[in-house]
Amino acid sequence: MKKDSSTESWGNIEMSNEWIKMAQINPHRLHFIMPFTFQQLGDVSGKRILDLGCGEGGYSRELARKGAIVTAVDCAHIAIKYCESRSDEEKLQITYLIRNSSDLYEIADETFDIVLASMMLMDCEDFEGTIREIARVLKPQGKVFASVCHPCFHSSGGIGRQDKGIEKKVVVSNYYHPTEWEAPLSSGSIKVIWRHRTMEDYIKTFIKCGLTITDLSEPVPTDEQAALSVEIAWMQKIPIFLFWELKK
């Protein structure tokens, strides 16, 4: 696998183990990002899907249960090992590969109907290489479903937070400066590399690599979701996640 700072940071054994645990209890992921993503994906039965940056594999398993033909890729070998054991338990047929998202070698051109890139594009060091690879492995007319930390409201340094709970505010002091920093995930303890890219960086790269934006969502949590935690309730004011649907 091609190594870079993102694969080194996320491939760290402690980080990977922490994410595997956290992914299964994180309210944003479980009660907001995952349900919205599955709603957007719709009927996946019989579709060839690449789950890029699959992490602990929750999306891959659910897609396979729904009848999709799933290939799951991550740079973290611990995460892939964990995914394999979980899908073996359930006897789900999922193909796992350890790869840098910017170098999907041995995956043929035009293989997939759908590429899912859930909460991973902001992590990649080689963002353009990753989008180029996504476009290469997608069939013509294939779709990409991607979610990221919202580049306008979620970052560090240039975009910070003030106040707490439902009164929390986003304070922007330097949006234009693409940057990276090391910090634990919220409620985590192991440092990982975070990255800020501007909206323009994302969109111009999609276009440069031959992808067309067909939808963009900043979903508002329902009152039912908001009742689950103050962090989700706050998102009825400010979107900290952004979802794109793209077409080749």
Ligand X SMILES: C[S@@+](CC[C@H](N)C(=O)[O-])C[C@H]1O[C@@H](n2cnc3c(N)ncnc32)[C@H](O)[C@@H]1O
Binding site for ligand X (CB under 6 A): 6-7, 10, 19, 23, 29, 53-55, 58, 74-76, 79, 100-101, 118-120, 123-124
| Token pair in block for residue 228 | 């689950």
Other beta carbons within 10 Å of 84: 14
Residue 239 vs residues 53, 121, 129, 220: alpha-carbon distances, Å: 22, 17, 27, 7
| Least spacing, CB of residue 107 vs ligand X, in Å | 13
Closest approach of ligand X to the CB of residue 173, in Å? 25
Please name the residue that has the structure tokens 């999709």.
68
Cβ 42 to ligand X shortest distance, Å: 18
> Which residue's CB is nearer to ligand X, number 173 or number 189?
189
Of 87 and 118, CB closest to ligand X: 118
Name the residue nearer to ligand X (CB basis): 95 or 174: 95
Nearer to ligand X, 32 or 234 (CB): 32
**Shortest Å, Cβ 222 to ligand X:** 20
Q: Tell me how many degrees the CA angle 233-186-57 measures, rounded to the nearest 5.
A: 95
CB of 74 to ligand X, least distance (A): 5
**Pick 143 or 165: Cβ nearer ligand X:** 143
CB of 103 to ligand X, least distance (A): 9
Q: Least Å distance between CB 215 and ligand X?
A: 19
d(CA 215, CA 193): 28
10 vs 96, which CB is nearer to ligand X?
A: 10
CB closest to ligand X, residue no:
55
* Tokens matching residue 134: 């996504």
| Closer residue to ligand X in complex, CB, 23/211 | 23
